[in-house]
């Protein structure tokens, strides 16, 4: 009102700047909104965000070597790994002191296990030595080089020393390199030997199969979504219930059902043999491979594709198709040039949802995937719960997260996230 009369900031009636006045007026509202979400926010922070952050930090955390072997790490700084000479007595003495301390605290096996990830075999060297060094007297038993090598030949291996030196930093890229089939050698990053490469294959397989699953969901879901959007309400509701029905059944039950259906002595094979399409001796292998995973996961993820597509298609007025036809377009042209482009946001939303769910899927590939159809998440689960290599598990998880975020970003660049409608 008065902004034409003076050039400064607009003032409220009492003379305070309008912006501050407005902020004060809205503060209560904001506070109330915050209070309303506070319990959930706290819950998520404690049970989700902090643990995830902690896990992610484990993917680079390497303090264990420095903490357990502080003297050795310090002594090794002088040693030149490229000279092909074993370290001198000072290093062995430092190691003996560290090992004794560690063995007394019973943590020497942990550091052995850590280094074993990078150089298989180290674990046993540490375990064996720890037991004996524990009884040593640091003053009387010197020098230690010969004695240590006596306990385990491993201490005479330059590679072992290189490993310790390479992984003495408090933070390491080792887990991440491991997760993409590389390793940190003495001369920098190198490719792992062929028989140790598994993660790249698995990561690529996960991506490839998730894409296949996403595409089969689009192919199967699009017509259903179209039908849902174009049927009269009563029939559409019935169909919608059929689409949602799987949600009311446990995931495990559905996956187990696929096991029964797909196995070689299963329903599908039996039926095909009975019809005569398949010879009894050559029953189809439909499970414990990629095909099994794709079939079961497409089925399980299909509703996540259909629902966003349906909600977008519902908003497309049927008069667009009529208009296109009245303008001379055949049914196909009308669909392809007019209806389909308008339904793309639904396909996009469904695809993002299905792909992200598929990439991280665990139970179904574990049950029907066999060895050929497992996903990267199965390996993450293995490292977290079986092998105990949390660092590697965390690194694999971080890579998965990064890939999903990158794809999301790419999608945003190409399709535009604003075009995604979930309802």
Partner 1 sequence: MADASNVDAFVEFERVQKSYDGENLVVKDLNLTMPKGEFLTMLGPSGSGKTTCLMMLAGFETATHGDIRLGGTSINNIPPHKRGIGMVFQNYALFPHMTIAENLSFPLEVRKIGKSEREAKVKRALDMVEMGAFGGRRPSQLSGGQQQRVALARALVFEPELVLMDEPLGALDKQLREKMQFEITHLAHQLGITTVYVTHDQTEALTMSDRVAVFDDGRIQQIAPPDQLYESPENSFVAQFIGENNTLEGTVKEINNGIALVQLDDGELIDCKPVNVSKPGERTRVSIRPERVEYNRERLQEGVHTLKAEVLEFIYMGDIFRTRLRVAGNDEFIIKTRNAPDQVRLQPGQQIEIGWLPEDCRALDA
Q: State the binding string over 330-349 for partner 1 (x if CB under 8 A, else -).
A: xx-xx--xx--xx-------
The candidate with the shortest Cα–Cα distance to 96, out of 165, 162, 146, is 146
Q: According to the binding rule CB under 8 A, does residue 416 interact with partner 1?
A: no
Compute the radius of gyration of the chain from its Cα atoms: 31
For 17-45, the DSSP string reads: BHHHHHHHHHHHHHHHHHHHHHHHHHHHI
- Cβ 336 to partner 1 shortest distance, Å: 11
- Cβ 415 to partner 1 shortest distance, Å: 13
The three-state DSSP-derived secondary structure of 362-415 is CHHHHHHCCCCCCCHHHHHHHHHHHHCCHHHHHHHHHHHHHHHHHHHHHHHHHC
Q: According to the binding rule CB under 8 A, does residue 235 interact with partner 1?
A: no
Q: Which residue has the tokens 């992200």?
A: 356
- Cβ 337 to partner 1 shortest distance, Å: 7
Q: Which stretch binds partner 1 (CB under 8 A): 146-154, 176-184, 191-199, 327-335?
A: 327-335
Among residues 323, 405, 406, 422, which is the contact residue for partner 1, using CB under 8 A?
Answer: 323
For 80-110, the DSSP string reads: -GGG-----HHHHHHHHHHHHHHHHTT-HHH
The candidate with the shortest Cα–Cα distance to 325, out of 312, 339, 341, 309, is 339
Q: Which stretch binds partner 1 (CB under 8 A): 172-180, 185-193, 324-332, 386-394?
A: 324-332
- Cβ 314 to partner 1 shortest distance, Å: 15
> Which C-beta is closer to partner 1: that of 160 or that of 309?
309
Q: Which stretch binds partner 1 (CB under 8 A): 44-52, 63-71, 325-333, 362-370?
A: 325-333
Among residues 82, 195, 319, 371, which is the contact residue for partner 1, using CB under 8 A?
Answer: 319
Q: According to the binding rule CB under 8 A, does residue 271 interact with partner 1?
A: no
Among residues 24, 106, 208, 322, which is the contact residue for partner 1, using CB under 8 A?
Answer: 322
Q: Which stretch binds partner 1 (CB under 8 A): 76-84, 118-126, 261-269, 315-323?
A: 315-323
> Which C-beta is closer to partner 1: that of 219 or that of 327?
327
User: What span, in angstroms and rounded, lies between the C-alpha atoms of 80 and 83?
Assistant: 6
> Which C-beta is closer to partner 1: that of 249 or that of 331?
331
Check: CB of residue 225 under 8 Å from CB of residue 309: yes
Q: According to the binding rule CB under 8 A, does residue 387 interact with partner 1?
A: no
Query: How many residues make contact with partner 1 (CB under 8 A)?
Result: 19
Q: Are strands 182-185 and 188-191 parallel, antiparallel or unpaired?
A: antiparallel
Which DSSP symbol is given to 158?
H
User: What span, in angstroms and rounded, lies between the C-alpha atoms of 226 and 335?
Assistant: 11
* Interaction site with partner 1 (CB under 8 A): 317, 319-320, 322-331, 333-334, 337-338, 341-342
């Amino acid at each position: 009102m008065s902004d034409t009369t003076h050039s400064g900031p607009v003032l409220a009636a009492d003379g305070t700047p309008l912006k501050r006045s407005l902020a004060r007026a809205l503060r209560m509202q904001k506070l109330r909104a915050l209070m309303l979400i506070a319990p959930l926010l706290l819950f998520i922070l404690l049970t989700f965000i902090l643990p995830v952050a902690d896990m992610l930090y484990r993917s680079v955390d390497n303090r264990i070597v420095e903490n357990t072997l502080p003297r050795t790490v310090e002594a090794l700084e002088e040693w030149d790994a490229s000279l092909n000479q074993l370290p001198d007595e000072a290093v062995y003495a430092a190691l003996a002191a560290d090992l004794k301390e560690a063995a007394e605290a019973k943590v020497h096996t942990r550091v052995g296990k850590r280094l074993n990830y990078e150089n298989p075999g180290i674990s046993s060297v540490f375990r064996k030595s720890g037991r004996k060094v524990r009884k040593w007297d640091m003053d009387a038993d010197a020098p230690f080089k010969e004695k240590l090598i006596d306990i385990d030949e491993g201490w005479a291996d330059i590679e072992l020393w290189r490993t310790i030196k390479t992984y003495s930093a408090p933070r390491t890229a080792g887990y991440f390199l491991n997760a993409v089939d590389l390793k940190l050698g003495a001369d920098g990053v190198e490719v792992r030997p062929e028989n140790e490469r598994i993660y790249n294959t698995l990561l690529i397989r996960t991506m490839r199969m998730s894409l296949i699953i996403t595409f089969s969901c689009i192919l199967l879901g699009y017509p259903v979504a179209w039908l849902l959007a174009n049927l009269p309400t009563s029939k559409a509701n019935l169909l919608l219930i059929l689409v949602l029905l799987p949600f009311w059944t446990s995931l495990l039950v559905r996956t187990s059902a696929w096991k029964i259906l797909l196995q070689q002595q299963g329903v599908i094979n039996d039926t095909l043999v009975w019809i005569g399409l398949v010879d009894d001796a050559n029953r189809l292998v439909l499970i414990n491979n990629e095909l099994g995973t794709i079939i079961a996961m497409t089925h399980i993820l299909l509703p996540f594709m259909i629902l966003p597509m349906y909600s977008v298609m519902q908003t497309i007025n049927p008069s667009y198709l009529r208009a296109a036809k009245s303008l001379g377009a055949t049914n196909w042209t009308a669909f392809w040039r007019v209806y389909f482009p308008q339904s793309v946001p639904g396909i996009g939303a469904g695809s993002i949802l299905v792909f992200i769910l598929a990439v991280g899927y665990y139970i179904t590939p574990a049950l029907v995937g066999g060895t050929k159809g497992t996903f990267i998440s199965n390996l993450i689960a293995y490292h977290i719960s079986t092998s105990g290599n949390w660092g590697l598990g965390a690194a694999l998880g971080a890579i998965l997260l990064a890939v999903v975020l990158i794809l999301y970003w790419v999608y945003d660049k190409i399709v535009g996230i604003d075009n995604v409608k979930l309802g």
